């Protein structure tokens, strides 16, 4: 029983570490919004000039 608990705790620790690693790789939502807005503004400006 003790071995099962240790194995489960180890597996949970590994999963938590993987989740935290994935969280670190994602872009924050405000950054995505700023990039989308900048691309939209540039596209509009190019359309007006052409």
The pTM of the full predicted model, rounded to 2 decimals, is 0.49
Assigned token pair, 31: 């950054």
DSSP code string of the chain: -HHHHHHHHHHHHHHHHHHHHHHHHSPPHHHHHHHHHHHHHHHHHHHHH-
Identify the pLDDT of residue 33. Answer: 92
| Closest residue by Cα to residue 38 from 30, 48, 26 | 30
d(CA 44, CA 50): 10
pLDDT digits (tens, 9 = 90+) for 3-49: 988 989 899 999 999 999 888 888 788 888 999 999 999 999 999 99
């Amino acid at each position: 029983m003790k071995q099962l608990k240790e194995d489960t705790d180890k597996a949970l620790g590994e999963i938590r570490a993987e989740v935290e690693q994935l969280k670190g790789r994602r872009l924050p939502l405000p950054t995505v919004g700023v990039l989308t807005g900048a691309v939209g503004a540039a596209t509009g400006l190019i359309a007006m000039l052409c």
